[in-house]
Chain A
């Protein structure tokens, strides 16, 4: 039974995808839809192959900034959450500003950051913008996790003379780990979105990431290349998500309830 459902879970979406692609190809051919309106999947594939080296270079640009922003978000988010956990006053003072940073649309801040950092350092501007988007889930997830430590265990630690540092490293951080790993899945996707939006926001030809390739191809009515770049972006997002889900599973599989259900 289990194997059947597992196979189905893999086969059903695949079959649906193939069917949609075939229908798409057939409709474009049957109605003779122009390439600059809707290219057939075969044309998109051809564009992908033709522009493969330059698209890969763009993909790498986007990926590099996404990963850097993500790492920066994890490090700074965890550090600030730890800081919050040690001082309620710092948390009360800073948290509202972290929220403001989070709710302000990144598209709206992009031009400002680009001007401040300068077009000469456009990568840095993109990095800052992507970091702003990716940072908050890490902060809020880790803050919640650090606060979720079992009160009785905290008491037990205190009873045995534990220092605040020992309570943090031996109790609060391990408690926060599942929260952090879950936040990382959200944050990884957001880092990519942040990078892409920042590339749009930055405009001009100085950015060379996938988002800019989409804008550029659109301007030239190379719709197939647009689709190819779009496809690569989606594939990148899916890969980031699955990579982080895998990390989560590997770290938690031995002891956490969420992982217990996964290995069925």
Chain B
């Protein structure tokens, strides 16, 4: 087991003095699909931003035991540039890295094909559905060939059908690329379906409440959602989450 990143006693205090997070200790293992699961406002997104380097911890440390991996980030909203066509949106990380235009275009097309959007590269974001926009957002993250993919409730705003389809496609990408994914969500079922490990968090200030290692089949598809083992796992996670909330309230 190789540790990609480790957070030790990380805290984050808002400017108004309210403690949003921590102390949080967490080790991210290479190749895992880790979900951070907890109620709104528990600091899941804050942890993700700290890992991405977009926020500095108020206390504690974030270490990269080996070389720091290339990081991709997917937000809750697709956060596309409305003035740019799909291909130019996907190409953004490559443009910023100074990749030659032709290579970057080819890479962007490849990333779009992988998320099932072949033929949409010339479209403007506004003509796409919510699910398609999120696919563009994922393609943009993939274009940079990340080793660590951070996802902040990416499917929370989608309808269930689009969300299920994206869940399965995301798993496929995770498997194919050997990605390490940290996935923030407040959905028990989504995290149970996707993850190899779930860390539940307490209400604010967010701390680790419980950890679940899931023995899901690696090629889990929609059938897995129907399996009794899946229901059992989801039940255990759900119970753990409720207990943590009750303990915090007491």
Contact = CB atoms under 8 A, between A and B. Distances in A.
A255 B124 contact: yes
Interface residues of A, number: 21
B73 interface: yes
Interface stretch (A47-55, A96-104, A157-165, A226-234): A157-165
B202 to A, nearest CB: 26
A156 interface: yes
B214 interface: no
A155 B73 contact: yes
Nearest to B54: A155
B207 to A, nearest CB: 25
Interface string A166-198: 100011001001000000000000000000000
Interface string B78-117: 0101111000000011011100000000000000000000
B81 A153 contact: yes
B73 A159 contact: yes
A159 B52 contact: yes
A68 B175 CA distance: 61
B190 interface: no
B79 A161 contact: no
A158 B54 contact: yes
B144 interface: yes
B144 A160 contact: yes
B126 A162 contact: no
Given A158-B54, A257-B126, A152 B77 contact: yes
Contact of A177 (B53, B83, B95, B97): B83
A152 B49 CA distance: 11
B79 A152 contact: yes
Contacts of A158: 54
B120 to A, nearest CB: 15
A6 interface: no
A254 interface: yes
The 7 closest A-B pairs by CB, nearest first: A160-B96, A152-B79, A160-B93, A152-B75, A174-B83, A255-B124, A162-B96
Interface of B: 49, 52-54, 71, 73, 75, 77, 79, 81-84, 92-93, 95-97, 124-126, 144
29 contacts: A150-B79, A152-B79, A153-B81, A156-B73, A156-B75, A156-B79, A156-B92, A158-B54, A159-B52, A159-B53, A159-B54, A159-B71, A160-B92, A160-B96, A160-B97, A160-B144, A166-B96, A170-B92, A170-B95, A171-B81, A174-B84, A177-B83, A255-B83, A255-B124, A255-B125, A255-B126, A256-B82, A256-B83, A260-B126
Interface of A: 150, 152-153, 155-162, 166, 170-171, 174, 177, 254-257, 260
